[in-house]
Structure 1
Amino acid sequence: MASPSFSNMFLRNKSLKRHFFLRITLLAFSMSLLLSFIASQSFLHGFDRSRQIHMRSAAKYAALDNDRRSEVLGYHIASSWEATPPAIRNVFASPPTATDRYLKHYEDWWYFAPPKKAYFVMRVATDDSQVRYVSYIKPQRPNSNKFRLQDPMVLIAICGSVAFSLFVLVLFYLSRSYRRPLKHFLGWAQSLELKKLPAQSPDFKFQELNGLANVMLDSMASNANALKRERDFLGYASHELRNPIMTLMSNARLLRKAVPASNAKEQQIQDRISRASSTMKGIIETLLWLNRREDTTLISKPVQLSRLLDEVIDELDYMRDTKEIEFTIDSANATRNLPEGAFRILVTNMVRNALQHTSEGHIHISQTDCSLTVSNPYSPEESTASTGFGLGMLLIQQISDKFGWSIEQTKSSRMFTITARF
């Protein structure tokens, strides 16, 4: 498992500049090798063609002696294979059978130095259709197999290396000339903030970079406008909800005084109305606080954790009317100084998420003086899907960040668990 993760990390951290430079350098090196190979093969082919022309000329104009053989400028001409020099017959096991058949053999030859010795033989037909075997033995020269700069193969290799080096130098110079505008673009992109967007992007000297900068700036401006609209809507909606909530709370208090509850059921209904009104007031205050740009603090007061948890479960009990869900609650009788509205949002969304993603089974809730854990089963088709909270999780995360709380999510077997530490 370590190897794939290392490979993925390497791919994620790969530099585009280094990747491009290495690929182009590899391409240039391959082209240099290919062209050098073609040049060397062309040289060898030209050498063989020149040798064949000389052999044909020697066979055409040489006059044979009584032994049916002759020698012209080092070329041995014979009318039969048996009349060729013994060294040629020792090297080549059989004579060339076709007309203009050309054979060659090199001894101790490596690419960048002449061979120690070379043997050539060719079957030629004269104008009167007589067969001639023309052979040539390149004599051994002192230090012939040593590296020499004037050797054609060495010159080809040197030219190829010089051309490749010049290409790499030019490529390196070009990459350095591109580095400054790219570095400028990267620094500018990293400095962008939604709250302080510039009116226009700077000039990066290249049309592609300028176009990319304009697209990035337009995208961030669009996101900033959307975020501002959402923030304004949240602020307006929260402010507008304050009046009806305050009216509801006042009427609930008047109802309690004007029409006292005659039985426990009516008392329970009045308590629910008062509690729901207070909850809505706390939620609205929390949303307004999250929407404020200045750093302010919510008032903390003693909160009995187990009682608040029971109230939240009672308010959300309707969500399991059509489901076979049972609660297993393990709560401690603890009291903490907390911002009640923000903490209630956190608890409500944790319990609501468990109810939404559970079809049947047991939801286990564990509450201590510093943590709250909710575990719920999930169906197999949801095992690969996201079990996120949506807007609720966003509020939980923002509240946790504001107050320094932590949120942990774990998934094991067929259970999903979320833990809030405060």
Structure 2
Amino acid sequence: MKIRPSLKIRFIVSMILLASAVAIFFSVLTLDSFFQGMDRGQAQTMRAFADVEGVEDGQPLDVMGYHISERWQDIPLEVKEAFDNRPVKDFRVEKSDVGGGWFSPPEKVYFVMKTMNKNGEVRYISKSLVMIDGFDGKQIGRRMQHLFAVAIVAVGVIAVFTSILFLLIKRVAGPVELLRDWAKSLDEDSLKNPVPDFQYAELNTLAEIIKGSLGSVQESVEREHQFLAHASHELRTPISVIRANTELLVKLYEKEQGTKKQFEVVERIDRAGRTMTNLTETLLWLSRDDSNLPVSGRVNLKQMIDELVEELAYLLKNKPVKLEVITTEHSLLVAEIPCRIVLANLIRNAFQHTVDGKVTLTQHENTVSVINSSSFISAESASLGFGLGLSLTKKLANRYGWQYSDSSDETSYKVLIVL
């Protein structure tokens, strides 16, 4: 199962990472500022000691831990070893660290400066600081206490920041979740109600857009239902007239011995009339309200299929088509008229499209399959609109919760429906 990203979690993680990055940045900046301040303090002190009197060639002085000499050779050996070369630039503090690491201070720090006194004489001033000089048990304990206190402060700051973050998210995410729940609960009736207040102008605007969009869709659906219902009802009368007059024409031509061509024309009109009747009935049922769907009744599926095959057998008349019908006795609770419409459409589609070849109709319990195999599809069959009929049949089956599937290749078409 694919885990969908959460906006809330992503925001929380982003804010925590941002806060951590800011904390690390300012910690590094503070540490760097501390060392720069220490270096500047050393520079000021060293410049002050440059004016100490009594320093001569070969006779350096030590004053308050600072070594003052006239020559580089008179600098203490450990200081000279800490630097690769003597200082070249005047009045600049050179620093060298010994030992230490990322999470521990250096063992020793050496400072040296080349400067001049008020008389313009060169002076080399150096100082060595011992940062770690053998911790005893008490010193280690104090250091651990200090680290523990730092950790407690860090955890406390993170906890306070996270609490504030969650309060902020709750205040912002609450209206968003209310908007989500409101949008999910929208239906035909609730769309008529005014939009609730979601505290923020952006969310209220979004709610208005959602309501407007769903309202437009609802209006389109209602117009479609009305059109289907009105069109189907209006078509019933002319279709009935066509069917009645077609049957009258057939009887007149049979009585007066009409030509074969005339019979073919009348039969074609009759087939078109039957097709229109079937599609009209399908449209009527699709336009009905779900609340007005008929109650299921006991239907003999084998008997219904046999009746439909007999009624539609005229579509295979004078065609080199082999019909195979395999049915078994089975009755089930189902809406009879929609069931008859769906099965009639499927059988009609197979009979009409099969010009030569074979049609296999199989029914086992509540499962019906129709397979028609033909070398080519008749242009006349396609012009009768059975693509629309099959599409409407699929929608009608889905509406009643019947499992519908179809597949095809170059010479055959198979439909399977489970009622």
Does the TM-score normalized on the shorter chain lie above 0.5?
yes
Q: Which residue of 2 aligns with 1:167?
A: 161
Matches within 5 A, 1:17-96: 17-65=8-56, 67-96=58-87
CA offset digits 1:2-58 (Å, max 9, x no partner): xxxx7xx34xx1111111221122122212211221111111111111111111111
> Which stretch of structure 1 is more off in the superposition, 305-314 or 287-296?
305-314
Q: 1:214 aligns with which of 205, 208, 215?
A: 208
> Which stretch of structure 1 is more off in the superposition, 287-296 or 60-69?
60-69
Q: Distance in 1 between matches of 2:133 and 2:23?
A: 32
Distance 1:141 1:62, change over 3 A: farther
Q: Distance in 2 between matches of 1:21 and 1:205?
A: 22
Q: 1:395 aligns with which of 392, 403, 408?
A: 392
Displacement of 1:178 in angstroms is 2.6
Matches within 5 A, 1:45-194: 45-65=36-56, 67-110=58-101, 113-139=104-130, 140-143=132-135, 148=143, 164-194=158-188
Q: Distance in 2 between matches of 1:120 and 1:148?
A: 26
Displacement of 1:69 in angstroms is 0.9
Partner-residue secondary structure (3-state), 2:341: helix
Partner-residue secondary structure (3-state), 2:184: helix
Partner-residue secondary structure (3-state), 2:110: strand
Q: How many matched pairs?
A: 381
Q: Which residue of 2 aligns with 1:385?
A: none
Is 2:304 the partner of 1:302? yes
Counterpart amino acid of residue 258 in structure 2: S
| Structure 1: segments with no counterpart, 5+ residues | 1-5, 318-327, 356-361, 378-388
Counterpart amino acid of residue 174 in structure 1: L
Q: Distance in 2 between matches of 1:169 and 1:402?
A: 50
Q: Which residue of 2 aligns with 1:274?
A: 270
Displacement of 1:311 in angstroms is 6.5
Q: 2:223 aligns with which of 209, 222, 229?
A: 229
Displacement of 1:66 in angstroms is 6.1
Q: Distance in 2 between matches of 1:16 and 1:364?
A: 58
Matches within 5 A, 1:364-403: 367-369=361-363, 370-373=368-371, 394-403=391-400
Distance 1:235 1:278, change over 3 A: same
Distance 1:76 1:159, change over 3 A: farther
> Which stretch of structure 1 is more off in the superposition, 392-401 or 127-136?
392-401
Q: Distance in 2 between matches of 1:416 and 1:68?
A: 113
Q: Distance in 1 between matches of 2:411 and 2:160?
A: 64
Q: Distance in 2 between matches of 1:26 and 1:415?
A: 62
- Percent identity at matched positions? 28
Counterpart amino acid of residue 265 in structure 2: I
Distance 1:24 1:417, change over 3 A: farther
Is the CA contact 1:249–1:277 (under 8 Å) kept in the aligned structure 2? yes
Is the CA contact 2:175–2:199 (under 8 Å) kept in the aligned structure 1? yes
Q: Distance in 1 between matches of 2:127 and 2:76?
A: 9
Distance 1:39 1:184, change over 3 A: same
Q: Distance in 1 between matches of 2:205 and 2:263?
A: 67
> Which stretch of structure 1 is more off in the superposition, 203-212 or 153-162?
153-162
Displacement of 1:74 in angstroms is 0.6
TM-score in terms of structure 1 length: 0.75
| Structure 2: segments with no counterpart, 5+ residues | 376-385
Is 2:284 the partner of 1:291? no
Q: Distance in 2 between matches of 1:186 and 1:93?
A: 69
Is 2:324 the partner of 1:332? yes
Partner-residue secondary structure (3-state), 1:371: strand
Counterpart amino acid of residue 342 in structure 2: A
Q: Which residue of 1 aligns with 2:405?
A: 408
Counterpart amino acid of residue 232 in structure 2: S
CA offset digits 1:49-105 (Å, max 9, x no partner): 111111111112343156331111110011112101111122223212222343222
Counterpart amino acid of residue 73 in structure 1: M
Q: Which residue of 2 aligns with 1:245?
A: 239
CA offset digits 1:246-274 (Å, max 9, x no partner): 11111112222233153544334333333
Partner-residue secondary structure (3-state), 1:98: coil
Counterpart amino acid of residue 64 in structure 2: L
Counterpart amino acid of residue 80 in structure 2: R
Is the CA contact 2:325–2:360 (under 8 Å) kept in the aligned structure 1? no
Is the CA contact 2:360–2:371 (under 8 Å) kept in the aligned structure 1? yes
Partner-residue secondary structure (3-state), 1:197: helix
Q: Distance in 2 between matches of 1:64 and 1:404?
A: 106
Q: Distance in 2 between matches of 1:207 and 1:406?
A: 46
